Amino acid sequence: MKIRDVVIGANASMYYKLNFKNIKGVYYPKTEQDVLAAIAHAKQNGFTVTPKGGGSGLSGACTGGNDQRVMISTLQMKEILTVSKDQGYIDVQPGITPDKINEFIAPMGLKFFVAPSSRDVATVAGILSTDGGGNDTWINGTMRDNTIRVKMVLYDGRLLTVDSKGVRRNDLELEEQLNKIGMTIHDVASSHGTLGFITELRLLIRPTVKEALMGGLAEFPECNVLGQALHEMIRKNIKINYGEVITEAHVDVREDLRPPLHVVEFPVELESEMREIIDFRRLDSKELARMKDVRVKLPKRNPKVGIQVALFEGYGFYDESLIKLQDSIDSVNTLLIEHGMTPFAKYGHGPSKWYTGDNSATYGLILHSREIKPEGKRGQEMFDTVLAIVEKCNELKVTPKPEHKWPFSDEVKRKKLEEIRTVIGRSFNPFLLSPECNDILGSMV
């Protein structure tokens, strides 16, 4: 075992205590040929394959579980291959970040509109594999909405091109089989590396439109009022360019902010419409930039005493659970406290959009959550809390965001992935779909 085999386990989720002995190879390919060689090595030795991007996700999928596996990082595949200004796309390798894409195309007056708060480190293939979004997902969609096509390498070395219409490849039989079961880019989105290794993506880029925008800060007495306001914005389909919510934050990390609050940026012509829904204080560009900065840094800040932990990627509040946001949050917090956890901060994107396992879009508030890690709590106990939250979310009609992040807990998604894997093989990240998944994740906390 080499130290590079251990370090590949570094990721932002609470699943980081890996059984390193089962990592049988770590690769940092630069080209598709390098990827093919790495996968061939895995296949020859009967190892599974786990792709890894920036490791900023919270699902634990990039760990590969406990299989004897080869880990393939995309961090050295970060080239921009083609930019078509006329046709509005950019071809990139999988390991590039949204920030780097935008750094490159901004001088051309173009932008790639997917902005997770980890956009400085999250890779585009990783974001597609989790179908991530960000503060403007409400108007610009999730990663799948901004991905035109992907090229993938399968376990047997065959290459696929997948877009919104279906699959293309030279092997007509495979193409026919996959198209028969309706494989599209929707299936690659949120697949958590269970299908193949993405070697190239064609992403949607659009001109940056110069429009007069207004920043605002709305504070609320409690979250039901906030939830109702968000629900109203969604009902009226108000095109907010940036919407971030902080419902609670520990005194150690919230600076001078007084949650619950909503930070928004929208076209100036929508001011009166917005004022009908929320009472906001106008923010100048400096104040808005500071708010955005605080929001980006919140997920990483620690309390003065203790350590923060991300038990759960996020909660998707919509319809009734959004209108009764405070009640829903109270219910979740009660559960957390019962399990010995101290709620630390909750913040997220709203209004926002996400997809459920049947590929239908839902609109509401995506709320991320952090807790203070209790002293002496065993990993399995922490994981039991996660499972209890998933159950609670189902009861509250809140989409447990991992339901689309974690294929194993979304039966529709799971079934479709299984169907595809029957055709292309089951050797990519199989632990996520195995009956032992919960035990494995619990052992890694």
Partner 1 sequence: MSYDKCVRCGSCLQFCPMFDATGEEQFSPRGKAYLLQVMDQIEDDEELAKEFRRLLFECSLCGRCEETCSSGVDLLRVWHEQRAKAIETHPEEFAYLEPLKDALANVKNIYGLAAEDRAIYWLDELEDEIPGLADRVYEKGKTTENIIFLGCLMSFRGSQIPVLRSLFQTLEKLEIDYLVMGAEENCCGHPLYLMGNEKGAQELREHNKKVITAAEAKRVISCCPGCLIQLREHHNLEGVEALHHTQFFDRLFEKTKKYDQKEKFSYHDPCELHRILEIKTEPRSLIRKMGIEFKEMDLSCCGGGGLLRMTDPNLSDKIIQLRVAREGVKDTTVITACPSCREQLLGQDLKTKDIVELLSETLDGGAD
Which residues contact partner 1 (rule: CB under 8 A)?
Answer: 1-4, 6-12, 16-18, 20, 28, 54-56, 73, 75-76, 97, 118, 120-121, 296-297, 299-302, 307-308, 310
Inter-CA distances, 166 with 77, 169, 185, Å: 25, 10, 7
The CA distance from 142 to 127, in Å, is: 9
The CA distance from 266 to 274, in Å, is: 9
Write down the least CB distance from residue 20 to partner 1, Å. 7
Question: Of 52 and 231, which has the nearer Cβ to partner 1?
Answer: 52
Question: Of 20 and 104, which has the nearer Cβ to partner 1?
Answer: 20
Question: Of 9 and 196, which has the nearer Cβ to partner 1?
Answer: 9
Write down the least CB distance from residue 13 to partner 1, Å. 8
* Unique residue bearing structure tokens 């709203």: 350
Write down the least CB distance from residue 18 to partner 1, Å. 8
Inter-CA distances, 21 with 41, 100, 310, Å: 17, 34, 26
Write down the least CB distance from residue 385 to partner 1, Å. 18
Question: Of 11 and 399, which has the nearer Cβ to partner 1?
Answer: 11
The CA distance from 64 to 422, in Å, is: 20
Token reading at 321: 């659970």
Question: Of 54 and 430, which has the nearer Cβ to partner 1?
Answer: 54
R_g of the chain, CA atoms, integer Å: 21
Write down the least CB distance from residue 367 to partner 1, Å. 18
Q: Among residues 42, 65, 50, which one has the least CA distance to residue 156? A: 42
Question: Of 245 and 298, which has the nearer Cβ to partner 1?
Answer: 298
243 touches 351 (CB < 8 A): yes
Write down the least CB distance from residue 216 to partner 1, Å. 25
Report the SS3 class of residue 9: coil
What pairs with residue 14 in β-bridges? none
The CA distance from 387 to 409, in Å, is: 10
Question: Of 351 and 442, which has the nearer Cβ to partner 1?
Answer: 442
111 touches 171 (CB < 8 A): no
Write down the least CB distance from residue 253 to partner 1, Å. 10
